[in-house]
Amino acid sequence: MTFSTKIAFLGIGLMGDPMARRLLQAGYFVTVWNRTLSKAHVLKTVGARVATTLPEAVFDADIVISMLEAGPVVAQLIADALPALKANAIWVDMSSTQQAEALQFHVRLSNAGHGFIDAPVSGGVGGAQAGTLAIMAGASAKDYARVEPILSAMGRPTLVGPAGSGQVAKLCNQLIVGGTLNIVAEALLLAQAAGADAAAVRAAIRGGFAESKILDVHGQRMLERNFVAGGQVKSQIKDMHNILAAAEAAHVTLPVTQLVTQRYESIAGTYPTADHAAALLALEALNPGRRLGDGPDQLS
């Protein structure tokens, strides 16, 4: 893979924008497309070519990268773009979808003579901006070798198995993230309710076995009551539903995941676009009169 490789990047949202910027900074030729064209035009100032239609975006692309809201949106774009795809193009879907959806994308593109890689990410907007995303790729070894340098411009890619495996790895990641967010909220609320200084408790347990990125970043967010979105409650719920669907397909029961899903669903109508650290708000609703800290809630 060389810098002469042409990339089409579809989906210039909170994550797609900084990811496309990382590719441009690395020297790749990138065409960007978004349903709301104004979001794509922002990248013109940093060297991107802006396509006004989907066929225009993909017709000469060696690699197509999609970063979209959900599986049905990806499916529609693949259907719309397929007639215009260059021979032997590889489609890299970095969205979070169901494993079954990723396998359907793989079959459809393979039958048309194209490659497919599911490569969802973890690390949020900050990781996308810094180029430090954890990238979990499901692909053949041959296809992965073609795109590994491109993925490396956006973060740390790992081949975790054949097509569909990337989504499994992402679901495992989100299972741990969702569960840990709720446990950190419980720990901090308990600390304060039992008479301790919750911020001091967090500081005391850091560096021990309880240390985690969630305790570091989102524990601080909870103490500050900062729920301005990075990851969103509605996205976390989508991920939890996808985890449960994968569990059902694999014939395993995940009782903790079921409970975490219920907790996020309890605030879906009130705080859909709040950061997923709003697990604290769901917990406080179960404990009337108990509230972490005394600052105002910061919400988008």
Positions marked catalytic: 170
Please say whether the beta carbons of 2 and 62 come within 8 A: no
Q: Is 235 helix (H, G, I), strand (E, B) or coil?
A: helix
What phi, psi does 49 have (nearest 5°)? -90, 130
Interior/surface letters 213-223, b for 16+ CB within 10 angstroms, e for the rest: ebbeebbebbb
Helices (H) and strands (E) in the chain, counts: 14, 9
Distance of alpha carbon 10 from alpha carbon 276, whole angstroms: 25
User: Beta strands 121-122 and 133-138: pairing type?
Assistant: antiparallel
Please say whether the beta carbons of 38 and 31 come within 8 A: no
Please say whether the beta carbons of 109 and 116 come within 8 A: yes
Q: Where are the beta strands (DSSP E) in the chain?
A: 6-10, 29-33, 49-50, 63-66, 90-93, 115-118, 121-122, 133-138, 155-161
- Would you give the distance in Å from CA 178 to the centre of its chain? 13
Please say whether the beta carbons of 243 and 258 come within 8 A: no
